[in-house]
Amino acid sequence: MTTQPLHDRDSDRRVIQHLETQVSRLFSAEAALHRLTDVLGITVEPDADGRYDLAALRAQAQDAIEQRAVEQALNVSPSPAILTASGWPMSLTFPTWRCIDDQDISQALSRICRFGGHSRRFYSVAQHCVHVSEIVPREDALAALLHDATEAYIGDLVSPLKSMLPAYKAIEQRLWSAIAQRFSVDPVLPASVKQADLQLLATERRDLLPDSPMEWPCLENIEPLEDTIEPWSPDIASLAWGLRLEELLAEREVA
């Protein structure tokens, strides 16, 4: 029987101790990681090799930290959020572009009626957005299609009420910033979109709202379109909005 030299056994022991230390550190690091994710309310999972995507973790952590800062500034706790059709929650105090889903937008906008439901027939925000995108210069069409996308998350308040609610407008602006980032459009809407929005509003008033002597100062000197609006069903409006988005995004990639 051969006896292992003492110095070899000491060497093996040191190697084992070193490995035990490294393993302990790994477990401690992973435990610390899970404590961090619990505190921040984010979820991370290792890949098949047990490795973590540090870039994704860093981005999630940064978003969570910024959200906490916003919530503290607004003195809001817990963060108000809605559950979207895709199953993802959308924070209203700190919306992030990563949670913006085009199918959420198309579904929600297609089921929201313009004018608080006071039109003669159901007429969706989605259809309105598609039409606005069709009457602006081609380079502004994507911004036009998206210009009311915030309403997919916070509804379509009638304009007179919206002007009385500064908190709503602040939330709307944060959502719009996230949407603009998600689809890489300028958060400042082109003048053509605002003009087309008014022209379509004049057309909608003519074709869809009850006759009334009520004055609309915003429509002064605004002529409606020649074509008459025929309202679509929610399913058709959702499909049309989604197809229009695909078309405009594909055009931008080619350009």
Q: List phi, psi (to 5°) of 83.
A: -95, 120
Q: Which two tokens stand for residue 26?
A: 């790994």
Question: pLDDT tens, 142-162?
Answer: 999 999 999 999 998 888 888
| Alpha carbon distance 252, 233 (integer Å) | 29
| Neighbouring-strand partners of residue 114 | none
Residue 227's domain is classified under what CATH number?
1.10.3210.10
Domain span at residue 231 reads 82-254
Quote the crossing angle between the two packed helices 234-254 and 102-110, to the nearest 10°. 140
**One domain for residues 70 and 95:** no
pTM of the model: 0.70
Same structural domain for residues 148 and 240?
yes
The amino acid sitting at 23 is: V
152 with 190, same domain: the answer is yes
- Both tokens of 84, joined, read 């979207």
Q: How far apart are CA 215 and CA 217, in angstroms?
A: 6
Q: What is the tally of structural domains in the chain?
A: 2
For the stretch 56-78, pLDDT in tens is 777 777 777 666 665 555 555 56
Cα–Cα distance between 182 and 136 in angstroms, integer?
21
247 in the same domain as 138: yes
pLDDT-derived band at 16 (thresholds 50, 70, 90) equals low
Average pLDDT (95-112) is: 95
